[in-house]
Amino acid sequence: MNVAVNVVLCTGPPNRYELLAWLNDTLQARFTKLEQVCSGAAYCQLIDWCFPGTLDLSKVRFQSSSSTEDAIHNYSLLQAAFKKYIPVDTLIKNNSTVAVTFLHWFKLFFEKNNNGREYRALEARGGQNMVPVSGGSSCCTEILHSKCCLSAVKMEEQESSSDPLFLFINKYCSGNVDALSSDPLVSTILSPTHPKDIIQVCWHTPYCLYLYMGVELGRGQTTSVLLIGYFDWSSGVSVVRLLHTLNMSTRSVDGDAKLLMETLKKFELPLSNLSVFYCNASSLWARQKFVSQLQTSCPRLITLSGLPGLAARACQAGIMASFSGLLDLIRVIHCHYSTCTSVNDSLKELFTNSQSYDPSKPVSGHSLFIINIVQKMASNWRDLVDYFKSLRPTASSDWIRSQLIDNKIKLQFLFLSHALEPLRALQEWQQYGTVDVAAELQLSAMLVHTYATNLLRPSVHEHFLRRRSLHAFNNELPPTEVNIGSRARDFLWATAVVDLGEQERSDFLKGATAFYKGALQSLVRNMPKYLGDVALRNIRKVLKHPENINVRRFISVRAGPLYVHEEIIIMYNVVYSVTHCHCSAEPRISPPQSIYIISDDGDDDDDDDDDDDDDDGGGGGDDDGGMVLTCTPTDSAPQLGTKEEMVWGKLDGFSFWPGIIIPCRVKKPGMKMVEWYGQRMSSQVAVETLEPFAAFAEHFCPKSFAILVTYRQAIFLSLQVCSLRCGKQFSANLNDKDGLLKQVLDWALEGFQPMGPDRLTTTRLSSLPTTQSAFTLHGTLALSHTFTHTYSHICSSSVSAGICLCCGTESVEIFHPLFKGSLCLKCKDNFTETLFRYDEDGYQSYCTICCYGMEVILCGNDSCCRSYCGDCLNILIGQGTFDSLKELDPWICYLCQPHRPHGALIPRVDWSIRVQELFANNSAMEFEPHRVYPSIRANLRRPIRVLSLFDGIATGYLVLKDLGFKVDKYVASEVCEDSIAVGTVNHDGKIVHVGDVRLITEELLEQWGPFDLLIGGSPCNDLSIVNPLRKGLYEGTGRLFFEYFRILQLLKPKEEDPRPFFWLFENVVFMNTHDKVNICRFLECNPVLVNAVKVSPAHRARYFWGNIPGMSRPIIASQKDKLTLQDCLEIGREARVTKVRTITTNPNSLKQGKGVSQLPVLENGKEDNLWITELERIFGFPKHYTDVRNMNRQQRQKVLGKAWSVPVIRHLFAPLKDYFACEQLPV
């Protein structure tokens, strides 16, 4: 019996071209596309190689047709050979994501189980070709789509020639070296006109030269490959062509450089048109030698050889030049983490995803990991100190503890946490982002600008950016003026002299200077010369006009072949443009889109007029060292409570919070609607509780500012508006947000001088400048409600599917779920965050169409909570629509009316289904499918064992018993005593309560388990965007998600364990997009959205992640589900509405209507609130389910408000009946 060794996929997406190259080389095949492998024949032969006799190779259908019958036959043979689950249905449908994942796993499996047995694959299958008859591909098509792809396809061993060019074609090009080959790519290379056609193009078009050294040819042979890239103006696409191969020694650099020049002269390439050069030589000296030879003929040659790994090398240079001793501390702490059996949560979080860390490698080998560790340690320093103080004394723990309590070590970490942040952005882009060289050049220029500002004197700063001369380092700032970040600066000067001596302070400042100097030197050495700061930072704008004859002198690579792995050269896309241009086109002027104008310096700046004598192509006049915000105030200052007046508001339980008065759709005497800065929410507040924002020093709370990130952001946003209204200019670099915040805060505390608080009055939008400020803080500072529609393609009769219905842009991402039209990426994110967000009156906070809107009209249907803004109605339907609809009372909205067009606003018939698709659509988040368990025969099913985290009032147990499951064990983690009492009393003590989830250890899980089902939903109060003081996923109760994730990882069975294991995680829909994305990344799946309103009388939209089969199926009400409020009321009580809004722990959530004053029930002609027994029925619980422990009404509503909806959980749990034993339920 053959016993196979299983493997687990490593992290990181596989490269399909490398996998095809490996498969062709291994099986002597000619696969050119991944879909051709889906016939299953290749997998059968790999199994025959590793485990001879496991399957009958003569039964494999190698020459399969495109029909599914041959594929099913081959997979049946494969499935009989081993017990690995095979996603046959998905593979035969040619799903590329599943196909590449399965091939990746099979490659690892083959390499693990292959014992080196000699095997002739071609002979073993009788010389049959495995490529399906209809599986051919045309490389010409790929070239026409800007992707000249040299697919790694190993040819049959037919060619005996030793010419490197033929060997290269043999190994990397699909086809035969025979000149009569039908493959268009091979025919082009071997045609008599090659490379004359390439040379002819290069004589009148700027071109790029790529030199790849050490390309494997097999049998121990290597070669160097020359590629030519150019922009084909006739077709409008980028082309990369193979020129020739060179026999370079890789030992004699002078000889190699001479050979390169001789080859270029031999082919008569015009070096005067050579604009960009790239070489993958590992030695910097070798690359410089090639460049120096080429520059003799093209002095202004741009080299991109130093761009890959630029951030990693700069990180290493900076750290090694300054505080290299910190690496020893990180190494020892990591060693402790790896060897110690019990570590605390802070240490676990510190080394999350640290499997790839190898201390023996240089910093550049894992720079992003080092940056993450430094920043995490700086943020969790106190926790680390407490942990290592609690350990039993050992040599290593004592040394770590002594380092952690050393103030100068902490100071170094605080500084590096600040200084490495700009490097982190570039490194993440290079490591995880798309291949976009223009973006990398732009980010690199911003990084150089930031570090130069932090290090150099203002007098030489501008000159350095233009020339990037290392001589500028002789004019550094004094050590005390070097930018070390606000946290490090505060710690430096707040620490007593006895704890941090003068010499130690001086050494630290010298080290900070050395970091910037070392990092800058590394960046300057590796960045392309002759491209100045202005040219690099505006390179994206320049690339938008390749047709301009003035821009053809400069060639840039938008997505070029800079990341080539060993023996594969793939996916080239080269785009050309120029620096040194004086574009004659008029700059576009955009209308203001917010109360204050802040824009991106990458895409929206006007073209800079650079001097012709600048040898680097950069301009000198880009004054980007500060922020200038200007506007014209109104003639008179309004009284407190006026529209757009800035105020302080006192919220219950919190300090004064900054806000701005906005128009109110439901006006109440003495009340004003205030939008709270930094929260994207608003609420009505009594005027007498408001204070003028001018009294800043009186109402500013230093304690909240120190501990609450949201409060700090709110202060920053409000002071941005103040600086705009006062025309105040600040000198801090915008990349140093902490420094800028300190400046504006000092200005506010000193009374907004020199203008004074009188200038804090509202400004008219029409008085704002039409040109936008040149700088931004990542475009996130504008208030979300002050959105201005910019439709330019929408008429009153039709809407194109290629236009965003929210903002009018043509760059669309996905369909609009409610109305015909689309959404761009920005509006999609905003739409998903705010669609299910409701104000205190129960209505949507924002417009149903655009999810923005200042003034809205509400639907008069009691069961509808939608609102529509005036901009959308007037633009999409017709001018005056909004005013005319305000006269109707009640007005029924377009989704509640019978389906018909309303001007350009056309409701979708299937809008309810498309809403689900919107929340399920995550095209940028693709994950490997969850393991699928086959159903278990009825006589083999056993009772279910469940672990419920954050169990609440035992909804999970109630549903399982309701569905008839035999529950062998139900272990619940819950800390609320009232909730525990409800579960204990209603289920006769059959639930095992184990307390706080943070105290559950692996040993306890082994003692209680094994478990078949893990369920839970961590608290949502720090994730929900309704909470203005939310802390997010990584702080407060948000961190409890990681307790669920930790236990999930401990409970997941191993790959070879056939036991079914299911899990379910729940949380709110209205969370920030980045929190949702992070949860998806950890759980490795996308959520499904289920709204309880379809099976109950209450709106309750929730996200569910999990691997339970059929989670995404439509939810359908059963006969016993109560769908209307009237069905849930006691006798003699009448429902005023059909559906109620989301019920929370807040008693006001029971009120309905536009004014949040309407009670939902009438009894004897009088308004009344919902009784608790009626609330229990709305959630699907039995009557009096929460009537335990003498709990009052408020306590009972509180435990219900945190509970799951019973019909929803029944819908999700139902498929588990195919896996676990059930009781014989009475009919």
Kindly list the catalytic residues. Answer: 1020
Which helix (H) or strand (E) is 945 found in, with range?
A: strand 944-949
The DSSP string of 594-622 is: SSS----TTTSSPPP---TT-TTS--S--
Residue 535: alpha-carbon gap to chain centroid = 28
Q: Give me the phi and psi of 873, to 5 degrees please.
A: -65, -45
Nearest-10 crossing angle of helices 437-455, 421-432? 170
The answer to whether 903 and 876 have CB atoms below 8 angstroms apart is yes
Please give the Cα distance from 13 to 398 (Å, whole number).
41
CA-closest candidate to residue 39, choices 2, 81, 78:
78
Q: Give me the phi and psi of 468, to 5 degrees please.
A: 50, 50
Burial degree of 1224 (CB within 10 A; 0-12, 13-18, 19+): exposed
Strands, E assignment, 376-422: none
Burial 359-375 (b: 16+ CB within 10 A, else e): eeeebbebbbbbbbbbb
- Asked if residue 1215 has a cis previous peptide bond (ω within 30° of 0), the answer is no
Please give the Cα distance from 766 to 761 (Å, whole number).
15
Task: Count the helices and strands in the chain (H runs, E runs).
Answer: 42, 28
The answer to whether 875 and 856 have CB atoms below 8 angstroms apart is no
163: CB partners within 8 A, 6+ apart: none
761: CB partners within 8 A, 6+ apart: 633, 634, 636, 637, 638, 645, 725
Q: At 48, list the tokens.
A: 């025959």
Please give the Cα distance from 19 to 104 (Å, whole number).
7
1018: CB partners within 8 A, 6+ apart: 949, 950, 1037, 1038, 1040, 1041, 1043, 1044, 1065, 1067
Given its phi and psi angles, is residue 868 left (phi above 0), alpha (psi -120 to 50 degrees) or beta? beta
892: CB partners within 8 A, 6+ apart: 859, 860, 861, 864
Please give the Cα distance from 673 to 654 (Å, whole number).
18
For 208, the 3-state DSSP assignment is strand
Please give the Cα distance from 1170 to 1128 (Å, whole number).
10
**CA distances in angstroms from 661 to 200, 639, 687, 696, 997, listed in the order given:** 67, 12, 10, 17, 43
Q: At 1143, list the tokens.
A: 């019920």
Please give the Cα distance from 805 to 851 (Å, whole number).
11
